[in-house]
Structure 1
């Protein structure tokens, strides 16, 4: 074959690949807690990315087949560019789900096709209704070493049909989440965009060693209960570099509901939140509770930006909750256009059922805020403890709050609160005396390292040829 013939063959090969015929190579690099020894494409399992063909069976076949590599380097399932309509599917251990930057997972809008799971034992009750729950779009339980990542690919919950049914009170069961991982260890969710979840977006529960990083979550600000990230009875969790626009709390920290959460007794602890940007006009950038009956402790949040959000950090609890929220540390908040900067509520009244214990009082203690700048604020703080059960150890230092033109006459309302402040403007209520004159106070923020920061990401790669 002469040079000209070689060139002709080469050109034909290029044209073949460009026309979609023959084998196509996809490759790339990404960061993950674990790299995999095997790669497959959803196309190999009958997947069709036309936005119309239902791929639920293809995804489940792929996961089931790739699970055989769990003890042999694990496996990654590559989802190429396209629109992949699917119902719920379950994950397996030592597994990576990887979405191409132009890949979109579309959740099925056929409500009747969604399976059911029981209420969570620490809740004893569905969040939307007393019965069970629709299974989440991507679901896993009792897993180890799972990565859900990509090149900022998209998972679209197409939640409009669920929101309509919820508002019409036609749902018999609690709406699905986009991702729920239960009773699992070593989980990563990163570099993805989540759109229009039927309800909560990301729900790790009863799990440990979790990294959620580099994600975008978007939903209409009027959509019901579209919380961004809800770590629930989890230990050693790191959430960082998140941009969230939602109809509910951007991050909601939880640990069970009333008597069920008290009995289950599994707290959320060792939680890091860094570099969060939030827009949520009707909710908080970070909420602790209201389901906190198993306890919440050692929460460290820093570098938080909130714009047009109802409150910066909100603690929600009530008589009957029991449990505790303690050792919370927040520093470096930049807030613009807020109803409240600080909000603590001891009368958040929704209960799982009528069997809660009215003697179960929550403990709210050791809540620290420092280095906060806010602008265009209607009210600096609304701090309402419980009669006979005050919230204690509240500390605020180096806080400057610029009030809106139509701000409330009294910027602070306080009851059943004990604590101190230093260099806080406008002047706090008398229950939070200013110690700046006689002894300058700097509220605590831990300097030690939590174990989740020792879980380092590796540089991983994939090369996948497919027809």
Structure 2
């Protein structure tokens, strides 16, 4: 068995096994400097309790077969600041926000702020550059619900020279006032958030999830919000019960989420797992999502932000993760006005999500909303109601049900017309689908240029549920549909197996060229 070092900090190392298993594998032991650290089964695993600036040897053992030994050296760490020394109680009763914030502000370069065992009540904490924030095992940062005590990030603050504005707050793709998040980073870089502790927003239907569509002083906070940040790694921690989106990197670069748990009740409002928005080089690996909305939703702003800044989300790579119970396992949109490029999802497990891939776009997103380089491969789907959904008529927002958005007639292509260039599905097994195998519709005036299925197998649940695959006008409740595909220039079907559908295997409309082949 082979493995490599995925990430190393001053006191942690994260490994990734080099084998074909998805998310979990046969149990194995991890030995560090000749000492057994435990028995594990995930493909990506973090070991803590290391010392800074120290040489280590690590080896894996499975069934008496040992891997090669890999050496690594932990990062230096000049000092640890324990938040208890700054007056934090950690008793679940006192507000520890100011004490923890003081420790962060006093942290020298590359040093560690330690959240030791205990429950610390906080509103919002603000990161600084070049630091480590570690949540020890059994340490909990617990959210305080009090809008009057939670800072607000203004959406737009005009510069004195009237040349533009400073954008802090964001809500669903628009620069508007929002509450600061439990962990907030504004223009910071070189930060690690790590440990076995928990970020618990403590949201419920009596506080943040009550009246979720209303702005009350400001829009709901996230759990981790990274605004114009660079080189941020979050590893090992659990994030749960968020007031809104859990992880929200925004106009940021070089962001990594590794070996995490992100969870919330299935009926919680807008609790997306991770929403990279206008970001570059985002890695999500070894993360288990179980949330009340999309597990991952890749965005690049609503119409205003996309048109003004033209910053797409690109080079986003997701692997060895488990998406469970959300509306979409991996979603592109709907706030996608600046487009996406190079979205690669591989070796993931989707379980009981409403959809597998979920593309949400529509007329009005604009000519900069170009979706290309979207690749899904080596996936296992179980109980996903509609595995592949591409919806170019997404009807949310006030204008969503207008004739302009909803008509299936071809309209003139202009500056408001979005575009989908390429989507590929390779080596995917879908068991127990419900509504359909695929429900994919491009615009009649701007068809999807290339849609490819290669080695894809779909079977249906014996007692398949009936439901609506796509949030678009004209999509009726259905069960066991085959591949419903409309408005595509080039459709490629290579070794596509569909078993158990009701009616036609393929239901095509407005498809110009079809290449179908079975080996």
Superposed pair shares fold, TM > 0.5: yes
Which residue matches 2:416?
360
Equivalent-residue separation in structure 2 for 1:280 and 1:32 (angstroms): 39
Which residue matches 1:342?
388
Would you say 1:83 and 2:119 are equivalent positions?
yes
Q: Identify if the C-alpha distance between structure 1 residues 33 and 198 changes in structure 2 by more than 3 Å, giving closer, same or farther.
A: farther
Among 308, 321, 330, which residue is 1:286 paired with?
330
CA RMSD of aligned residues (A): 2.7
Among 157, 178, 184, which residue is 2:201 paired with?
157
Question: 1:31-68 CA distances to partner (integer Å, 9 max, x unpaired)?
Answer: 999643221100111111100110111111111111xx
Which residue matches 2:321?
276
1:210 CA drift (Å): 1.3
Which residue matches 2:364?
320
- Would the aligned equivalents of 2:167 and 2:175 in 1 still touch at CA under 8 Å? no
1:405 CA drift (Å): 2.7
Equivalent-residue separation in structure 2 for 1:435 and 1:35 (angstroms): 56
Which residue matches 1:65?
106
- Would the aligned equivalents of 2:223 and 2:245 in 1 still touch at CA under 8 Å? yes
Equivalent residue pairs, number = 405
Equivalent-residue separation in structure 2 for 1:372 and 1:316 (angstroms): 21
1:341 CA drift (Å): 0.7
Equivalent-residue separation in structure 1 for 2:173 and 2:229 (angstroms): 25
Normalised by the length of structure 2, the TM-score is 0.73
1:342 CA drift (Å): 0.3
Question: Following superposition of structure 1 onto structure 2, how do residues 196-215 of structure 1 map, counting pairs within 5 Å?
Answer: 196-215=241-260
Structure 2 residue ranges without an equivalent (≥5): 1-47, 53-71, 157-165, 406-412, 465-478, 499-504
1:403 CA drift (Å): 1.3
Among 290, 305, 311, which residue is 2:355 paired with?
311
Q: Identify if the C-alpha distance between structure 1 residues 34 and 310 changes in structure 2 by more than 3 Å, giving closer, same or farther.
A: farther
Question: Following superposition of structure 1 onto structure 2, how do residues 239-250 of structure 1 map, counting pairs within 5 Å?
Answer: 239-250=284-295
Among 260, 273, 292, which residue is 2:305 paired with?
260
Question: 1:295-338 CA distances to partner (integer Å, 9 max, x unpaired)?
Answer: 21011110111111111111110111121110111101111112
Equivalent-residue separation in structure 2 for 1:32 and 1:396 (angstroms): 43
Question: Following superposition of structure 1 onto structure 2, how do residues 94-113 of structure 1 map, counting pairs within 5 Å?
Answer: 94-113=130-149
- Would the aligned equivalents of 1:421 and 1:434 in 2 still touch at CA under 8 Å? yes
Question: 1:340-366 CA distances to partner (integer Å, 9 max, x unpaired)?
Answer: 110000111335889x99841111111
Would you say 1:412 and 2:468 are equivalent positions?
no
Question: 1:140-161 CA distances to partner (integer Å, 9 max, x unpaired)?
Answer: 11111011111x2100001114
1:261 partner SS: helix
Structure 1 residue ranges without an equivalent (≥5): 1-25, 441-467
Equivalent-residue separation in structure 1 for 2:240 and 2:460 (angstroms): 33
Bigger proportion of residues as helix: 1
Q: Identify if the C-alpha distance between structure 1 residues 353 and 168 changes in structure 2 by more than 3 Å, giving closer, same or farther.
A: closer
1:252 CA drift (Å): 0.8
Among 450, 457, 462, which residue is 1:400 paired with?
457
- Would the aligned equivalents of 1:385 and 1:416 in 2 still touch at CA under 8 Å? yes
Equivalent-residue separation in structure 2 for 1:97 and 1:135 (angstroms): 18
Equivalent-residue separation in structure 2 for 1:90 and 1:353 (angstroms): 36
Question: 1:96-147 CA distances to partner (integer Å, 9 max, x unpaired)?
Answer: 1001111000011122211111238899973399951111111111111011
Equivalent-residue separation in structure 2 for 1:53 and 1:104 (angstroms): 13
Equivalent-residue separation in structure 1 for 2:440 and 2:213 (angstroms): 34
1:334 partner SS: strand
- Would the aligned equivalents of 2:169 and 2:176 in 1 still touch at CA under 8 Å? no
- Would the aligned equivalents of 2:172 and 2:302 in 1 still touch at CA under 8 Å? no
1:113 partner SS: coil
- Would the aligned equivalents of 1:197 and 1:219 in 2 still touch at CA under 8 Å? yes
Question: Following superposition of structure 1 onto structure 2, how do residues 168-187 of structure 1 map, counting pairs within 5 Å?
Answer: 169=214, 171-187=216-232
Which residue matches 1:391?
448
Would you say 1:369 and 2:438 are equivalent positions?
no
Question: 1:141-185 CA distances to partner (integer Å, 9 max, x unpaired)?
Answer: 1111011111x2100001114444334846342110001111111
- Would the aligned equivalents of 1:261 and 1:293 in 2 still touch at CA under 8 Å? yes
